Amino acid sequence: MKRIRILHTADIHLDSSFSTLGVNARAGAELRAAQRRVFDSILERARDWPADMVLIAGDLFDAGEPCDATVAFVMEALERLAPIPVFIAPGDHDPYSTYSPYALALWPGNVTIFKPGGWQRWEHPVHPLVIHGIGCDGVNTSGEWFHELHVDTDDRVHIALAHGAERTHQPPYDDSFAPFDAADIAQDNLSYVALGHFHDPVDATGDATSVMRYPGTPQGRNFLEQGDRSFLELVIEHNGVGKPTVQATAISCADIVFERCVCRISADQGAPAILDDLLARMSGDASHRAVQVQATGTTLPPAYEVIEALRAEARPHFGYIEIIDALEPMLNPPPLSTQHTCLSKLNKAMAERIADASDKDEAAFEAYARDLVVKACRSLMLPTHDAAEPLS
């Protein structure tokens, strides 16, 4: 009985800008550092397990021409992994092109880069194993290459490595780059298809004769990629007779976990109490959490001050935090409700405008205006806003 241990990962997206999160330079740098730590931890696991090989199914980098420092980091890390062989199939974000590091850099001897244009094969010098791989070129997005692979009928274990979207298992938020059907590539003598492109773990095997898996991105990059992430450890056993058995195990590895939550705020809560409630709900170290908090409920006006105070209080505790103001404006807050003054009458009039607003955005704007008026009438300092800056 031959036992082959393989580590399969994909979609690491090193050098991501995180621009969609709107983070500042410090937060962006920390999130990129988290990606590197995850990559290092995956390779460390490959050494300790130990893996017989590592498969990277595309989008190792977030762009076709990553910065030199990131390329150097990857090459040094892979060189330290030697003599364990590493196989890379460039993806749609980091295609194999004239100016990509895949074409220009001198990669360590234990690394094999699969080029676009046709399937290539690598035969293991010890194990009865053949790796078939193909890279993306950034131009051809048809996925036609998935039905061009033909595997020998012999007593060896055959594995394919590629990047593309299997149609019947495509998540709603992943694009359909290089679409294919499992039947396009499945073959009786193809034991495993190591895939990349989907950012959530997906078992795309279905009715196919070959096991097909997406490990998902090992480090989330936004709030669509919530929860812990993973890579795959494969154990393939084959005695030379019949079909090999493939066992795939997901191994958790995210350094910073993205999650969404709803935080209900009561009128008498201040920012420290709200933060205490929020931290109590975290399942792990908050400094390794990127959290999107939807603040609901009602609070004493001005509501925006509660949100800003919570942001300031929470930032030092989290890897990244984003707070969405979904508070309902308190139409007649005490003590104005019990007064008979010009200010209480003005508040009542503006409360009617809030109640009559046609949508939530208009109501929020009217509530913000009301809060500013109340502060001005009390001779309190008002916030300053650029005329083009959206109010939130």
Structure confidence by residue, pLDDT tens digits, 242-278: 789 999 999 999 999 999 999 888 877 888 988 998 8
* C-beta separation of 217 from 173 below 8 A: no
How many Å separate Cα 115 from the centre of its chain? 26
Which pLDDT score is estimated for 10?
98
My answer on whether omega of the bond before 215 falls inside 30° of 0, hence cis, is: no
Q: Which two tokens stand for residue 225?
A: 């990629």
Q: Tell me what pLDDT residue 189 has.
A: 92
Q: Running DSSP on this structure, what letter comes out for residue 276?
A: H
151 — pLDDT class (breaks 50, 70, 90) = very high
pLDDT at position 126 is 84
Ranges 145-154, 245-254, 315-324, 326-335: which has the least confidence: 326-335
Do the Cβ atoms of 244 and 38 come closer than 8 Å?
Answer: no
Q: What average pLDDT is seen over the chain?
A: 88
Q: Is 265 helix (H, G, I), strand (E, B) or coil?
A: strand
Tell me what pLDDT residue 335 has. Answer: 60
Q: Where in the chain is the domain with CATH 3.60.21.10?
A: 2-252
Share of the chain above pLDDT 90, in %: 59
CA distance to 132, 263, 313, per residue, from 151 (Å)? 9, 54, 59
C-alpha to C-alpha distance for 87 and 131, rounded to whole angstroms: 9
Lowest mean pLDDT across 94-98, 322-326, 386-390? 386-390
* pLDDT computed for residue 25 by the predictor: 84
Residue 331 has pLDDT above 70, yes or no: no
Band (383; pLDDT cuts 50, 70, 90): low
Number of H helices, E strands in the chain: 8, 17
Q: What are phi and psi of 156, to 5 degrees?
A: -100, 160
Over 90: is that where the pLDDT of 197 sits? yes
What is the C-alpha to C-alpha distance for residues 62 and 69, in angstroms, rounded to an integer? 14
- Average pLDDT of span 308-317: 90
Q: Which residue bears the tokens 């460390």?
A: 44
**Separation between Cα atoms, residue 237 and residue 226, nearest integer Å:** 33
Measured CA to CA in angstroms, residue 2 lies from 53, 124, 129 at distances of 15, 13, 10
Fold of 2-252: Purple Acid Phosphatase; chain A, domain 2 (3.60.21)
Residue 365 has phi, psi (to 5 degrees) of -65, -45
Range of weakest confidence among 158-162, 316-320, 376-380, 386-390: 386-390
Q: Provide the pLDDT for residue 350.
A: 82
390 pLDDT band, cuts 50/70/90, is very low
The answer to whether residue 326 scores a pLDDT higher than 60 is: yes
Task: Report the SS3 class of residue 1.
Answer: coil
pLDDT level of residue 380 (50, 70, 90 thresholds): low
Q: Which two tokens stand for residue 244?
A: 């090999």
Tokens linked to 53: 């090989």
Tell me which H or E stretch contains 157. Answer: strand 157-163
Choose between 351 and 311: higher pLDDT: 311
- Residue 212 CB contacts under 8 Å (≥ 6 apart), including other chains: 166, 182, 185, 186, 192, 193, 195, 203, 204, 205
Phi, psi values for residue 370, rounded to 5°: -60, -45
**Stretch 208-237: mean pLDDT:** 95
Does residue 333 or residue 353 have the better pLDDT? Answer: 353
Contact indicator for 88, 13 with CB cutoff of 8 Å = no
Q: Mean of the pLDDT values across residues 26-45?
A: 94
List, for residues 352-372, the tens digit of each pLDDT value: 888 888 887 787 788 778 777
Tens of pLDDT along 55-104? 999 999 999 999 999 999 999 999 999 999 999 999 999 999 999 999 99
| Amino acid identity, position 72 | A
Per DSSP, what are the bridge partners of residue 211?
Answer: 192
